Structure 1
Amino acid sequence: MITTLGSWPIGSGTLFIRTGDITASTSDAIVNAANSRLAGGGGVDGAIHRAAGPDLPRACKRIIAERGTLPPGQAAITPGFSLAARHIVHTVGPIWRGGTDGEPETLASAYRESVRLAAEHGAQSVDFPAISCGVYGFPVERAAPIALQTLAKTLEQGLVNAVSMVIFSDNAAKTWLARGSELFGPPA
């Protein structure tokens, strides 16, 4: 189940902060915080691979065979397979190295490229996890404003109608909601 904590109208679309399991999303596309080999793993990546079923690893292996590993900040797309979402956009976020190794720019690129690719495939709604905030160690307090500002720009550009941050932990979701309130004012 996914619960909306707050939202902001931006451009002709809406930015949402939600809590819950992203694999339950009914949006057109969900984003997977993937590793560069698209091989599945722990956290949200493992959950998406398990929920999408056995066709997802085969599709990911084909992508890697065709283009090689996915660099941080870039994105690739597969069908949603067993998920309600039609598409899974796989993106690799940066590993946190203190913030002086291009991590903020790479994180912004991961969000921007994911929306762009989803829109190219007809998606009008895209749900994101907190990219790089798990095992990659990007501090949530620093990641949230980067992600939210980048997603707001994609809404202002009219790429999609809705973007959502779907945060698994209620405590982390409160941080995202607070950062959104600082940037955009009180949520609806």
Structure 2
Amino acid sequence: MLNVLLVESDINNTLLENALKSDGVDILKTQYSPLFLALAKESRPDVIIFNLDTPSEKLITDLHTLDLQLPLPVIVFSSDGSSETINKVIKAEVSALIVDGLSSHRVSSIIQVAIARFKQRQALKDALEVARTHLEDRKQIDRAKAILIKTQNFTENEAYHTLRKLAMDRNITLGEMARNVIAMSELLK
């Protein structure tokens, strides 16, 4: 069962709530407040849905914070379709922004698209982080090889194979071994 945190500006509005309930979704309904981030972290929903007239600056800031601390699919239904609002919401990593389009029969498919888009974005972020780590490791390995070449008169090939053997013997990554060599070199300066 899908758990949804539903944040509405008008707590008495039941259109979206009823549409979610008819799809068998478990709902925690609230109004936006300064306690939003704490509530999101505590309730750990699968999706957060906002139904607001206009997303406030504070909400946009909270969405940025949420994306850094607890990335989740976020859907915003809004009546504000200004380009400024759209740009701010997109930069806050919202999975779906629906402007003046609240229709109960579309809610389920909007949620599915938002979840799929969120998963794709997370996969891209993860791949980017892996690439950054590999690049940083590569820089550290090159620096460690340079240290071994300078201090031990190794060739580049000998330096690389020495690093590799040391890493394997210690059951650590080549990047970690390179950082150890660099740290030791700086310690002995």
TM-score category by the smaller chain?
Answer: 0.3 to 0.5
Higher strand share: 1
Q: TM-score, normalised by structure 1?
A: 0.34
Higher helix share: 2
Higher relative contact order (CA 8 A, sep 6+): 1
